[in-house]
Each structure stands twice: as structure tokens, then as C-alpha cells.
Amino acid sequence: MTIHEILEAKVDQLFAEWKKPDSPGAALAVTRDGEIIYKQSYGMANLEYDISITTTSIFDIASVSKQFAAFAITTLSHDGKLSLDDDIRTYLPDVPDFGPTITIRHLLHHTSGLRDWVQSLVIAGVAMEDVISFKHILKMVRHQKALNFEPGTAYSYSNTGYNLLAEIVERVTGNSFREWTDANIFKPLAMTNTHFHDDHQMILKNRAYSYQAVENGEFKHAVNNTTALGSSSLYSTVEDLAKWILNFDNTQIGEQTVIEQMHQRGVLNNGEQISYAFGLNIGEYRGLETVGHSGSWRGFRSHLMRFPDQKFGVVILCNLDTFNPLRLAEKVADLYLADARAPKETSEPEKTVEPAENTKSEPLAPEQLTKFEGDYYTEELDTTYSIRVRGNQLVAQHIRHDDILLTYPEGHFHGDSWFFPEVRFIQDDTGHVTGFKLTGNRVRNLHFEKKTR
């Protein structure tokens, strides 16, 4: 066997557990020095019809999509059509005026303070298998009442910001985001199986379906009806994305200044530099600089990773929610870049950690909890939660969610759901509860007003 065949066999071994006729799987492409050096597929694109994944199978690549929206905006900036420091309301006057200016640059670096639509819509009762359209997301932004934080003061990943970037492209160019990216990115690079998916009912040949793992090694279909242009919803193949990777080293589209700017990391108002650039995470793996991004939506998992100094890249697209494509991409890089990478760091012995001072609050008695009971409404998301006492605890109830248990460990309430994490009730001078603020993850200080009977 040649050295190339040996490496390819080792790569295939990394994916061996998914290369079978009764499992979802993945597609892979590896690039080096301006060409695809290996491509392969594993597992099934459709379990109902026994259709195998190929290297031309089309996946929703989720948040890997963001670098294409960033490329579009950066190109328009270099063409003089806009400035990255423009107020977004110059192009999107229907976005509320929150006081402090939100710039296009804030959207690019996730420093705008805009709430992330994923958590916000779940709070509102939207299920991830529902139809979630681009228009639906933009409507949510128009109803936002406050920012998570002042623009530029913090980093908080916001899909919403990238949806607004796609809308800015439409407003500036007069073309739909799909039309502009087709004409200026995908057609010039001959990415013939790539498009931003703006119609969830569109018939799409060679589509890989997404799956979630369930008990006993079984799978279920993870329905995907989302068209979140800019932040996600780019449908592509590993072969097409390999062409995109190669464009960073041998530029066919975009001036070199555009490519260079896409790698400039964001800077907060206090001068702190963050790792996020223009739809790209700038990092390091075993002593080597990396540029990449992960994606996760429904059962789809994706990762695109480049090692710019080695002119090496890996694309992995998966259709099963238990996949970890980042870790697999790193293992592929370990094989091909064995001579360039640093040795793995040895694990340091575990340190004994002194127990922290006990800050646990005394549980509240049922009679103390009754004042929190009531119906709470947020105009921002047009939704209501009912807070009720059950035994010696509070529960938050919503028409489309299972009951959320509220515990009281640290002087305020915590929900046992990822989208409903921390509740701080608001009381007036007389001790009467008037509302609460919901905070946690990518939504902060979302106000709920207690309804009066």
C-alpha cells in the first residue's frame, strides 16, 4: 500500500461505526495544496428508502453558513455599497431603535446584543420541527423590546444578527439573498449543488435527511422546516465546500483584501479581542493555527476546518445528532499533519478543590410561594406563562411546553429547562409581585408582566 492508501484506510477507520446500511452517517472531503486529496462517504442518507450517502449528497450545513453571509457583506463593503460601521437601521429602519447604535460590524462579530432567535422562539412556544421562516425571524426582531447588553460590550452568539446581514444584502443589492449568493459565490466557484434554502417545501434531489438517535440503537427523523437565511439553511455537499476552502488559498472570487478581512477577529469596546472573525472562528489545534466553524441543526452536524499555514482543510457533514464532526476533523488532521502538529499535551493531575461556601438558600414554604402565582405575559414574544404552586415548589406552565420546575437554590429561581434558565421576580414597594425577568444562555432580561385579574 502507498502512504496515501494507508492514510485513507486510517481515515475510513475513524468513521467505521457509521459505515453500515442501517445507520445515518457522514460525508468527508480533505484538501491540501490546492486540491481535494480524499473524499468518502459513510452510512445512509435516507433510512426509509435505503439510499446511501455519497460525496454529492446535500446536507443542511447549519451555522457553517455564516461565513458565506460574511463574505457577501465584506464584498459589498469593499465595493463601496456599505460600510461595516454603518448603523444597521440605515438599511433596516424597521428594526427598533434601542438607543445605542448597532453597526453591521456588531452583527458580524456577535456583539450586537440582539437576542438569538432560537431560544427566543422556543420561549414563545415554537417547536423546532415547526415551519420557521426567514420572515418569521425578521418579525421577531421587529418586536424585540430591549438588548441583552449594550452593543460592543460583550460577545454572545446570535443567529439573529446573521439573518439581518442576509436582509441587508437584499436591501442593498435589490436581489434576494439566494440570488446574490448564487450569482456571486456558488456559480463562479462551480458549487453546483449549493444554495441558500429559502423554500422549505422545495423538492431537492440527493438530499440527506436528518436523524436523531433514540433508545436501543434506533433513529427517528428530525424534521427540518427552517429557512434561516444567513445564519443557517445553506444546503451543500462536501465536494462543493472543498471548492470554497480552496478559494481561501487560491482566490477565484473575492479580492484578496476581502479574504484577509474575513480573518480579522472582533474587538470589544474595552479593547479585548475575541476569537470570532467574519463567520469564522480563529483558533489553534496542537500548535497550528485553525480557521473554522461548526454547525448544528436538527439532526445535522457539520464542521469546516482549515489549517492556513499548511494549506490543509477538512469538511465533514453528518446527518445524525450524536456526531461530533469537530473531533473527527481533528483526528483526520492528526493523521495528515503528523509531522507539523505539536505533541498532545499530557493531562495534569487533578487538583483537590476546596468546597465552596454553601450559598444554598432555604427552601420557601408553600405559603411563601403563593405570592408568585399568576399569569405572566411578554409583549416581545406575545406569549404567556402561568406560574403555579405544586406541593412546595413552583412550576411554569405554557400551552406548548411540558411543565418547567422552578427551584430556589441561590436566592432566586432556576428553571429545569435550557431555554428557561433563571427567573428573577420583580416586586413593588409593597412586596406585590409585578413581573419577572428571564435570563440565561442567549436571552437576557426578557421582561414578563404579571397580568391583573
User: Average pLDDT, stretch 50-66?
Assistant: 98
Show the beta-strand stretches assigned E in 148-231. 195-196, 211-213, 219-221
**Higher pLDDT pick, 351 / 374:** 374
pLDDT at 412: 86
- Grid coordinates of 159: 443567529
pLDDT at 293: 98
Task: Tell how strand 288-297 and strand 401-407 pair up.
Answer: unpaired
DSSP-based three-state secondary structure for 385: strand
For the chain, state the CA radius of gyration: 24
Average pLDDT, the chain: 94
Question: Cα–Cα distance between 48 and 364 in angstroms, integer?
Answer: 52
Given a cut of 50, is residue 36 above it in pLDDT? Answer: yes
Q: Which residues pair with 28 in a beta bridge?
A: 40, 316
Q: Which residues pair with 306 in a beta bridge?
A: 291, 313
C-alpha torsion angle, residues 327, 333, 334, 339 (rounded to 10): -160
Given a cut of 80, is residue 345 above it in pLDDT? Answer: no
| Per-residue pLDDT reduced to its tens digit, 169-224 | 999 999 999 999 999 999 999 999 999 999 999 999 999 999 999 999 899 999 99
Provide the whole-model pTM: 0.93
Reported as a pLDDT band with limits 50, 70 and 90, residue 365 is confident
pLDDT at 362: 67
- Grid coordinates of 98: 434601542
Q: Which residues pair with 441 in a beta bridge?
A: none
DSSP 8-class letter at 264: P
Given a cut of 70, is residue 317 above it in pLDDT? Answer: yes
Name, in order, each residue with C-beta under 8 angstroms of 424's C-beta and a sequence gap of 6 or more.
Answer: 412, 413, 436, 437, 439
Q: Taking the domains of the chain in order of start, what are their residue ranges? A: 3-336, 366-450
**CA proximity to 421, closest of 122, 151, 153, 145:** 122
Reported as a pLDDT band with limits 50, 70 and 90, residue 358 is very low
| Opening angle at CA 50, ends 46 and 55, nearest 5 | 60
Report which secondary-structure segment, H or E, holds 258: helix 256-261
Show the beta-strand stretches assigned E in 126-255. 195-196, 211-213, 219-221, 234-236
CA atoms within 13 A on the CB side of 267: 4
Question: Cα–Cα distance between 99 and 115 in angstroms, integer?
Answer: 16
Given a cut of 50, is residue 80 above it in pLDDT? Answer: yes
Please state which CATH class domain 366-450 belongs to. mainly beta
pLDDT at 360: 56
Reported as a pLDDT band with limits 50, 70 and 90, residue 343 is confident
When mean pLDDT is compared across 3-7, 188-192, 298-302, 383-387, the lowest value belongs to 3-7
pLDDT at 340: 84
Question: Cα–Cα distance between 418 and 323 in angstroms, integer?
Answer: 21
pLDDT at 356: 46
Handedness of CA 282, 134, 128, 185 (dihedral sign): negative
CB 95 within 8 A of CB 88: yes
Would you say the CATH fold of 366-450 matches that of 3-336?
Answer: no
Task: Tell how strand 401-407 and strand 413-417 pair up.
Answer: antiparallel
| Per-residue pLDDT reduced to its tens digit, 89-100 | 999 999 999 999
- Per DSSP, the residues of 228-254 read -BTTB-EEE-HHHHHHHHHHHHS-SSS
pLDDT at 411: 77
| Per-residue pLDDT reduced to its tens digit, 220-249 | 999 999 999 999 999 999 999 999 999 999
Show the beta-strand stretches assigned E in 9-144. 26-32, 35-42, 44-46, 51-52, 59-60
| Per-residue pLDDT reduced to its tens digit, 391-424 | 889 999 999 999 999 999 877 899 999 999 999 9
Residue in the structure block whose three cell numbers are 412546595: 392
CB 307 within 8 A of CB 337: yes
Given a cut of 90, is residue 367 above it in pLDDT? Answer: no
Please state which CATH class domain 3-336 belongs to. alpha beta
389 by Cβ neighbours in 10 Å (0-12 / 13-18 / 19+) ranks as: middle
Give percent of the chain with pLDDT exceeding 70. 96
Give percent of the chain with pLDDT exceeding 90. 90
Report which secondary-structure segment, H or E, holds 325: helix 325-336
